[in-house]
Amino acid sequence: MSESVVLKNGECEQREPEWHVLQSAEARQELKAKEPLSEDEVRQRLARHGPNALPEARAKGPWARLGRQLKNFLIYVLAGAAVITASLGHWVDAGVILAVVVIQTLVGFVQEGKAEQALSAIRHMLAPKARVMRSDGQHQIDAANLVPGDTVLLEPGDRVPADLRLEKSHNLKIDEAILTGESEAVDKSTGSVAPDAPLGDQSGMAFSGTMVATGTGRGVVVRTGARTEIGRISGLLAQTTTLKTPLLEQMDRFARILSIIVIAAGIAIFVGGAAFSGLPFRELFMAVVGLTVAAIPEGLPAILTITLAIGVRQMARRQAVVRRMPVIETLGAVSVICSDKTGTLTRNEMMVTRAVLSGVQLEVTGEGYDLDGAVNAENGHPSDSTLLDELARAAALCNDAHVHHDSGRIRIAGDPMEAALSVFARKAGFDVDGSAADWPRKDEIPFDTENRFMATLNHDHHGHSVIYLKGAPERILDMCNSEVAESGETSELRRDFWERVITEMASDGLRVLALARKPAERGSGELAIEDLEQGAELLGLVGLLDPPRQEAIRAIAECHEAGIRVKMITGDHGITAGAIARKLGLKNTGRVLTGKELDQLDDDQLRDLVGEVDVFARTSPEHKLRLVTALQALHGVVAMTGDGVNDAPALKRADVGIAMGVKGSEAAREASSVVLLDDNFASIAAAVREGRTVYTNLKKGIAFMLPINGGESISLVTALLLGLTLPISALQILWVNMVSSVVLAMTLAFEPAEPDVMKHPPRGRNESLLRGFVVWRVVFVSLLFLGGIFAAWYWAMHHHGDESTARTLAVNTLVAMEMFYLFAVRYLDSASITLRGVLGTPIVLLAVAAVIALQLLFTYTPWFNDTFGTQALSVEMLGFAAVSGVVVLVILEIETVVRRRWLRAGPG
Ligand code: ATP
């Protein structure tokens, strides 16, 4: 596998070592990285090796994008029509049709560009992360900034960020299916293997792109970017996200079927007309072109895509990044949100406020992670006992977090709860930085949500070994037979007493943790879970405060008002969970269901109960999957949060899987459809609100565009069937559809949320948008437009007897009706004639002003008059158009009132 490596600057480096054959220390030597790298070294290495990223598959260039626009059915029809009209010598008509082809292509080109921009912004927000040790401590960085020689830490659910030579591993198993196709996760160790070992057998290596299934590990980066194994195979990063949702696909299908029907009808009308009507060929041909253009909603896909792109951007602004596009629609229908507690509903800024040892209660003073504070006995005096020292030592040594205080700023690295324990140990007088070195760690059992404890094996320089344990109190109590008294003596464990203390602390909303120790044999070097079943000595309990997020309290109230149930699913103690749930304002807090109780229920029993209970405690990730399934069986549309690798099945199963961007694992992020950049519950509520808004805006876009096509095409068909002159010419229809309607409809994509968007219950799981109300509105408004067009035509003919004037008025009347309809469509379910409705959003007023200006050009300038066959209108006529618009608005206002009454009374 040796080969020479060409560096970025074109220089050649000597042959690359066979990393899997070297011992990890030798690998470090080769990499000239005996110690974790400093910022300076990293900068130099980054300049030499380039970023740790695969080259992105080149975004499709503008030409490809342009080409895609031309693959459009309507464009073919229009191009065909242009050729035929040109061959007949109607140059103006051909020119206008070609201009429309150009506009249509450009609009598609620009909107697709916007959508691509929105998506690429999101991709960058979701850049993979890596946990790295540098000379100044542990950091979470963008994986792109890793360099050869860096020290990377691995945890379950991490995607390995570069090729690593492992130097530490604990029960580490890695899923290498992506590289080797082997679906079972393989055991990893730190040993070296024979030079000819295949990839799957190189147990001392962890390869970029593979996924940590269990255990923990540490390794030194040996290859980055395109030089990694995965980089050599695939070379490019696939980018497949597109802005497609079920609704858009439904609309595409609808438009395609409609186009086929319209063209078939066009041909039939043309043939029938030529045979029977005696109309001149040109007129008949243009009538059919007009009908085709009138009936096909050509502007609609652009409007819907832009609406989605804006929705995606808005959500990202609210810290919710959409990974799978269809979820934008589902978000608006969410009826249950199942949320983790720690860090999502609470702040995850923990502080130990109480400690209980051997029956003595101690209060801990101070603020957050600040070191100022003390551990005081009940009389207020600082406590000072050997037992407290031992408790503090356990808290500091059985701990992976780092707390740095530099120039007044506090930085924590690692688990916030462990950071709080480290601060507590310092307040209790333990010299965390100094004394920890006297007790190096030999081995550890890392915390996992299944076991709910962590253990470390430490030994001092005289060879004494001791195991320190910390974890969920009932779990630790199970391992203890005795407890340590203040004197240092051990006595029999008073289990009832400690359980009472735990209940008392948990009722105050404290997260309770037990700390214990177990003597180990001199010089023993390995730790196994089986060794810890019995024989530990309880040191004491600590209670941590993790205050609820204020914004979560508000967001929960908002969700309740919006008919969304919020459920808390936590690994914490039942009583603590209940107390926090009450502070957060959750609904059913009287009954807390624990993981153990859940295990005793079968699926039917769980389904009967799950609607009644809002707090689930001491749960494991498998419980989440059962809960999602049970809630879905009750027809809920379920959003579920998760962070660990084991949460992936539940995240996938949920209608909206939401991963935590900060503390979540890569596995959870990949299984989810939304990633929260700030892990905050309030962002979920905001995303639901955005989801509802996007869905309503899509509905408004459809309800606005389709009646225009409907009104126009029914008018033309009616005229053709009755043998009348067309009230609007083909070119004029092109003008209305490609200019006025698109400008007006575009504003709907920017429409802000209606004020009551979170005041009504979520829509039903299977509620289709293209039914009921929208279909009714499309038909009803199409008929209103039909009435308006013919009224204008006849009124003008009656007063002037001139066809081009009558057509010009018909077009202006249609556009006026559209403008007023835009105001009606903005508030589908409430009154539109209000100050807010009339003033609208600035962009609506801007669009209306633009359309009025365009219509004036269309009506009064000679060039437009010649091109589109229009005539200047009298003021009286303009008045007619405006009044028609007002009439449409008033009729729709009455329709809304009647419909709401009818709905309230219940249909039937
Ligand atoms: P949520 O599921 O809402 O995020 P959580 O953080 O309480 O809540 P877990 O991380 O599953 O859930 O933790 C479950 C329990 O395990 C905790 O209540 C605590 O008792 C114990 N625990 C958590 N972190 C550690 C740790 N680092 N070391 C030892 N025990 C821990």
pLDDT tens string 578-612 = 999 999 999 999 899 999 999 999 999 999 999 99
Contact 305, 742 (CB under 8 A): no
Query: What is the C-alpha separation between 214 and 155, in angstroms, rounded?
Result: 7
The DSSP element (H or E) to which 441 belongs, if any, is strand 441-445
Contact 602, 618 (CB under 8 A): no
- Does residue 833 carry a pLDDT above 70? no
Q: 594: CA distance to ligand 1 center in Å?
A: 14
Contact 237, 57 (CB under 8 A): yes
What average pLDDT score do residues 472-477 get?
96
Query: Is residue 470 in contact with ligand 1, taking CB distance under 6 Å?
Result: yes
Residue 193, sorted as left (phi over 0), alpha (psi -120 to 50) or beta, turns out to be: beta
Domain ranges for the chain, please list them.
4-56+126-236, 351-545
pLDDT at site 771: 64
- Does residue 1 carry a pLDDT above 60? no
Query: Is residue 576 in contact with ligand 1, taking CB distance under 6 Å?
Result: no
pLDDT at site 826: 82
Confidence of residue 838 (pLDDT cuts 50, 70, 90): low
> What is the overall mean pLDDT for the chain?
86
Confidence of residue 2 (pLDDT cuts 50, 70, 90): very low
pLDDT at site 908: 37
More confident residue, 497 or 244: 497
> In sequence order, what are the beta bridge partners of 186?
174
Confidence of residue 150 (pLDDT cuts 50, 70, 90): very high
What average pLDDT score do residues 866-886 get?
93
Query: Is residue 679 in contact with ligand 1, taking CB distance under 6 Å?
Result: no
For the record, the structure tokens of 127 come out as 């850049």
- Phi, psi of 549, rounded to the nearest 5 degrees: -75, 130
Contact 638, 655 (CB under 8 A): yes
Rg of the chain, C-alpha, whole Å? 35
Closest by CA position to 763, among listed 706, 675, 702, 698 = 698
pLDDT at site 796: 92
Query: What is the C-alpha separation between 699 and 754, in angstroms, rounded?
Result: 13
Range with lowest mean pLDDT among 451-465, 494-508, 519-533:
519-533
Query: Is residue 341 in contact with ligand 1, taking CB distance under 6 Å?
Result: yes
Query: Is residue 400 in contact with ligand 1, taking CB distance under 6 Å?
Result: no
Confidence of residue 738 (pLDDT cuts 50, 70, 90): confident
pLDDT at site 475: 95
- Does residue 562 carry a pLDDT above 80? yes
Q: 282: CA distance to ligand 1 center in Å?
A: 78
Name the residue of 570, 580, 618 to mutate for ligand 1: max ligand atoms within 8 A of Cβ: 570
Q: 664: CA distance to ligand 1 center in Å?
A: 14
- Does residue 641 carry a pLDDT above 70? yes
| Geometric angle at alpha carbon 191, from 189 and 194, rounded to 5° | 125
- Does residue 699 carry a pLDDT above 90? no
pLDDT at site 896: 84
Domain 4-56+126-236, CATH: 2.70.150.10
First to last CA, the chain: 77
Query: What is the C-alpha separation between 166 and 258, in angstroms, rounded?
Result: 60
3-state secondary structure of 133: strand
Query: What is the C-alpha separation between 806 and 797, in angstroms, rounded?
Result: 6
Query: Is residue 643 in contact with ligand 1, taking CB distance under 6 Å?
Result: no
| Geometric angle at alpha carbon 844, from 72 and 841, rounded to 5° | 130
Mapped to the 3 state alphabet, what secondary structure does 502-525 carry? HHHHHHCCCEEEEEEEEEECCCCC
Q: Identify the residue whose C-alpha is closest to ligand 1 atom 16.
A: 452
Confidence of residue 773 (pLDDT cuts 50, 70, 90): confident
Contact 786, 794 (CB under 8 A): no
Q: 653: CA distance to ligand 1 center in Å?
A: 23
Query: What is the C-alpha separation between 569 and 557, in angstroms, rounded?
Result: 18
For the record, the structure tokens of 586 come out as 């959750």
Closest by CA position to 422, among listed 458, 465, 485, 470 = 470
What average pLDDT score do residues 843-864 get?
93
- Does residue 140 carry a pLDDT above 80? yes
Q: What is the pLDDT of residues 350-364, one digit of tens each?
A: 999 999 998 789 999
Contact 135, 32 (CB under 8 A): no
pLDDT at site 514: 97
Q: 92: CA distance to ligand 1 center in Å?
A: 75
Closest by CA position to 458, among listed 445, 440, 476, 474 = 440
Q: What is the pLDDT of residues 101-138, one digit of tens each?
A: 887 788 778 877 777 777 777 767 777 889 998 887 77
**Which range, 315-324, 515-524, 536-545, 636-645, has the best average confidence (pLDDT)?**
536-545
More confident residue, 293 or 165: 165
Q: Identify the residue whose C-alpha is closest to ligand 1 atom 14.
A: 571
Q: What share of the chain is helix, strand, coil (3-state, %, to 5)?
A: 50, 15, 30
Q: Identify the residue whose C-alpha is closest to ligand 1 atom 4.
A: 342
3-state secondary structure of 438: helix
More confident residue, 346 or 521: 346
Q: Is the pTM of this model over 0.85?
A: no
Q: 521: CA distance to ligand 1 center in Å?
A: 29
pLDDT at site 236: 47
Nearest atom (ligand 1) to Cα of 415: 27
pLDDT at site 3: 41
Q: 546: CA distance to ligand 1 center in Å?
A: 12
Confidence of residue 907 (pLDDT cuts 50, 70, 90): very low
Beta strands in 546-687 (DSSP E): 565-569, 592-594, 615-617, 638-642, 656-660, 674-676
Mapped to the 3 state alphabet, what secondary structure does 647-695 carry? HHHHHHHCCEEEEECCCCCHHHHHHCCEEECCCCHHHHHHHHHHHHHHH
**Beta carbons within 10 angstroms of residue 524's beta carbon:** 15
Query: What is the C-alpha separation between 340 and 681, in angstroms, rounded?
Result: 9
Query: Is residue 419 in contact with ligand 1, taking CB distance under 6 Å?
Result: no
- Does residue 309 carry a pLDDT above 70? yes
Residues with catalytic annotation? 340
Confidence of residue 876 (pLDDT cuts 50, 70, 90): very high
pLDDT at site 480: 96
Q: 378: CA distance to ligand 1 center in Å?
A: 28
Q: What is the dihedral of CA 513, 519, 524, 530, to 10 degrees?
A: -60
Residue the block writes with tokens 């593979």: 210
Q: Identify the residue whose C-alpha is closest to ligand 1 atom 18.
A: 572
3-state secondary structure of 56: strand
Query: Is residue 454 in contact with ligand 1, taking CB distance under 6 Å?
Result: yes
pLDDT at site 884: 95
3-state secondary structure of 832: coil
Q: What is the pLDDT of residues 380-438, one digit of tens each?
A: 666 678 899 999 999 999 998 888 877 778 888 788 999 999 999 999 988 887 777 78
Query: Is residue 452 in contact with ligand 1, taking CB distance under 6 Å?
Result: yes
Query: What is the C-alpha separation between 489 and 537, in angstroms, rounded?
Result: 10
- Phi, psi of 529, rounded to the nearest 5 degrees: -60, -35
Q: What is the pLDDT of residues 48-104, one digit of tens each?
A: 999 998 776 555 677 877 887 777 777 787 888 888 888 878 788 888 888 878 877
Range with lowest mean pLDDT among 47-61, 552-566, 656-670:
47-61
Tally of residues, the chain: 908
Q: Identify the residue whose C-alpha is closest to ligand 1 atom 1.
A: 570
Query: Is residue 543 in contact with ligand 1, taking CB distance under 6 Å?
Result: no
Query: What is the C-alpha separation between 757 and 184, in angstroms, rounded?
Result: 47
pLDDT at site 213: 87
3-state secondary structure of 859: helix
- Does residue 263 carry a pLDDT above 50? yes
pLDDT at site 637: 92
Q: 450: CA distance to ligand 1 center in Å?
A: 10
pLDDT at site 5: 47
For the record, the structure tokens of 463 come out as 């060879």
**Beta carbons within 10 angstroms of residue 177's beta carbon:** 14
Nearest atom (ligand 1) to Cα of 452: 16
Going by C-beta distance under 8 Å and a sequence separation of 6 or more, which residues neighbour residue 832? 823, 824, 826, 889, 892, 893, 896
Nearest atom (ligand 1) to Cα of 472: 20
Name the residue of 452, 470, 512, 515 to mutate for ligand 1: max ligand atoms within 8 A of Cβ: 452
| Geometric angle at alpha carbon 326, from 741 and 554, rounded to 5° | 95
Query: Is residue 513 in contact with ligand 1, taking CB distance under 6 Å?
Result: yes
Query: What is the C-alpha separation between 643 and 647, in angstroms, rounded?
Result: 6
Nearest atom (ligand 1) to Cα of 470: 29
- Domain 351-545 fold is Calcium-transporting ATPase, cytoplasmic domain N (3.40.1110)
Name the residue of 347, 352, 447, 586 to mutate for ligand 1: max ligand atoms within 8 A of Cβ: 447
pLDDT at site 338: 97
Going by C-beta distance under 8 Å and a sequence separation of 6 or more, which residues neighbour residue 856? none
Query: Is residue 546 in contact with ligand 1, taking CB distance under 6 Å?
Result: no
Q: 536: CA distance to ligand 1 center in Å?
A: 20
- Does residue 783 carry a pLDDT above 70? yes
